[in-house]
Structure 1
């Protein structure tokens, strides 16, 4: 088994479902979006395998133990935890979630004890455009790049925003700075920011899908 299994894809593409399938193995340690919980806005969103910018940051992401990162439900029994350690982990994770629901200023870390797991599973919706560089930095690893059809991915994003399901303070398709970054980092000459501003939200999401997955 590889040391690291990477489950990367765009938001609303089924990454959580597939990530939890891997989490159901008793020999894996699951990290749910550590690079979203501890983002680094100084890093490009798109990086190829020649980049060395990620190496130090990756190590930090793999060490994140926030409640959202290691306490996502459902919980599965692990071979590297005793029954008592598993029970303590689950109770502390529920307590951390309850504390955060009372106040976002309260941050408790679930108690995760045990021996070394066989593999760490890293699920990400933030770093799909960095996947080549991350694979190069983690040579003993395997990756699953999840690609949902752009129509389904965009429709899910639009529906979720319309129903208030997401925490976004602003719609992603109105983030001009994001599109400027993606255009610059991709090196594309097909689009410029004026082209983006002239198209519909659905079309903007499709462009983002293409630039990130390419």
Structure 2
């Protein structure tokens, strides 16, 4: 698949910020071929994860090649996410076969094979390829230099919600690692806040996660804001005004509205629960949206919200989340 044959959309954000949910909304379109975190499978550590201006020019060609590889990555980890959706670029038989391969890839003994590939079963090039990433959030400027025709959706969620979800993932044994403060403080941008490494290291794990969230999201937004290819997305606003927000995001990305996506939105809105599994995307968007208030101590919430007042993205995110919370409360009061 050559680059001009498929438009590229990159969905990026910090872990537990709603990237997978937004990506699945896009995957519901018959036009979209979806790649789930292919940079976690095809790793190119020689391309900087936190590039500066000089790195952008030096690594543009390598990033262009890398993006081509990511768009073509059909390892099961990248190409076998559920639920599945029929695609216009597959024949009816191809759609049936692809669905069978996706669900079959999750069965023993194949489910544990990291090298397993799921053929795309294409009859024509897909109009749009969507790549979702949490590892390459700070690489967006480099990606934009390599592919000026691409579109970028940068999704942010209230940092307390992110911190609470990360903590829950650790408790369930589904997430590993910490805030990686050495790597965060190696970024020049970390020096732009009134916190040093000793201060952040002495804070709670939730506050450390919030600091990492702040530095990385601020860097990306500062580098990308103002460009026609870039859109900052509030997870909370998306969940509360789902259809209007998704219509605008589809238009930005050059994806047409379609009945298949409408049916998927109906399914989500008619679901009563917040999802039975930690990584579930089939859930009512509003259900449990602000459950983090019960999961984090009030003092931790106050400390995180005070911290991210030093952040441009933090202030925008807190305002959008507060607006969404008022809408949810008002809706609950009317029901």
Instruction: Check whether TM > 0.5.
Output: yes
Return the index of the structure with the highest Cα Rg. Answer: 2
1:192 CA drift (Å): 4.5
User: Within 2, Cα distance between the matches of 1:80 and 1:153?
Assistant: 36
SS at match of 1:146: strand
Q: TM-score, normalised by structure 2?
A: 0.57
Structure with the greater relative contact order (CA < 8 A, sep ≥ 6): 1 or 2? Answer: 1
Which residue number in structure 2 is paired with residue 130 of structure 1? 139
User: Within 2, Cα distance between the matches of 1:24 and 1:105?
Assistant: 26
Task: Tell whether the 8 Å contact from 2:74 to 2:119 is kept in structure 1 after alignment.
Answer: no
Which residue number in structure 2 is paired with residue 112 of structure 1? 120
User: Within 2, Cα distance between the matches of 1:180 and 1:55?
Assistant: 29
1:179 CA drift (Å): 2.2
User: Within 1, Cα distance between the matches of 2:20 and 2:36?
Assistant: 8
1:49-88 equivalent positions in 2, closer than 5 A: 51-52=56-57, 53=59, 54-88=63-97
User: Within 2, Cα distance between the matches of 1:100 and 1:14?
Assistant: 30
Q: TM-score, normalised by structure 1?
A: 0.86
In structure 2, relative to structure 1, the CA distance for the partners of 1:60 and 1:186 (3 Å cut) is farther
Which residue number in structure 1 is paired with residue 39 of structure 2? 35
**Equivalences, count:** 205
1:190-209 equivalent positions in 2, closer than 5 A: 190=193, 191-209=195-213
1:160 CA drift (Å): 1.6
1:49 CA drift (Å): 6.0
2:48 matches 1:44: yes
Which residue number in structure 2 is paired with residue 179 of structure 1? 181
Task: Tell whether the 8 Å contact from 1:48 to 1:130 is kept in structure 2 after alignment.
Answer: no
Unaligned runs of 5+ in 1: none
The alignment yields a C-alpha RMSD, in angstroms, of 2.1
User: Which structure dedicates a bigger proportion of its chain to helix?
Assistant: 2
1:6 CA drift (Å): 1.2
1:58 CA drift (Å): 2.3
Task: Tell whether the 8 Å contact from 2:34 to 2:129 is kept in structure 1 after alignment.
Answer: yes
1:106 CA drift (Å): 6.2
User: Within 1, Cα distance between the matches of 2:108 and 2:44?
Assistant: 26
Unaligned runs of 5+ in 2: 1-5, 219-335
Deviations 1:35-84 (A, max 9, x none): 12223333332225651423332222222111021110011010010011
1:149 CA drift (Å): 1.1
Task: Tell whether the 8 Å contact from 1:46 to 1:182 is kept in structure 2 after alignment.
Answer: no
Moved more, 180-189 or 154-163: 180-189
User: Within 2, Cα distance between the matches of 1:203 and 1:123?
Assistant: 26
